[in-house]
Amino acid sequence: MLGAARTGVLGLARLARAGAQLRRMATGPLGTNVHYTETLEDGSVFVARVPRTLPAVSEADLPPRVREPAPAPAAHVELTDQLRHAVAKLRAEDPAHWTVSRLAKKFGLPPHLVMRIAQCPAWRRHEIQQAADSEWARLGYKKRLIRLNRLRRRLLW
């Protein structure tokens, strides 16, 4: 619209009308949303639509919580020989049931520590690998291609 205006008096009038329309569209029916103005050292005026400082928000101003915040994790768990033996014993009894995450949750340990204390037996690792291989064999061509591409992209991280 602005580029098609002819030069001359009619073109300038058309440009002025277009500019007025744009200003009306930007300001809306209630005027501008100027929240903050400041006169600078050189005499120019700085105008911002965003307030310079955010208003203070108290707990009473906020809507009610959807759920309670999660408790803070324990800073440090003392790793005794008894605890080591208990974790290793449960893992050896039934590694399919006592996974790393279950043992970590039960004893309040980080998962990497459980993996160091009680590694997965070789036969269980073999079972997990066979299940993953059978899952891979059931996939169609496109799903395999998608997963391979995802792995390739992940390797580029």
pLDDT in tens, the chain (157 residues): 555 544 566 665 665 665 555 455 445 455 666 667 888 899 998 888 777 777 788 888 899 999 998 888 767 778 899 999 999 999 999 999 999 999 999 998 999 999 999 999 999 999 999 999 999 999 999 999 999 999 999 999 8
List residues bridging with 37 in a β-sheet. Answer: 47
DSSP per-residue codes, the chain: --TTPPSSHHHHHHHHHHHHHHHHHHH-TT-----EEEE-TTS-EEEESS-SSPPP--GGGSPPPSSPPPPPPPS-----HHHHHHHHHHHHH-TTTS-HHHHHHHHT--HHHHHHHSPPPHHHHHHHHHHHHHHHHHS-HHHHHHHHHHHHHHHT-
What is the tens place of the pLDDT at every residue in 133-149? 999 999 999 999 999 99
- The type of residue at 71 is P
pLDDT value of residue 25? 47
pLDDT value of residue 108? 87
Domain boundary assignment for the chain: 78-120, 121-157
CB 61 within 8 A of CB 88: no
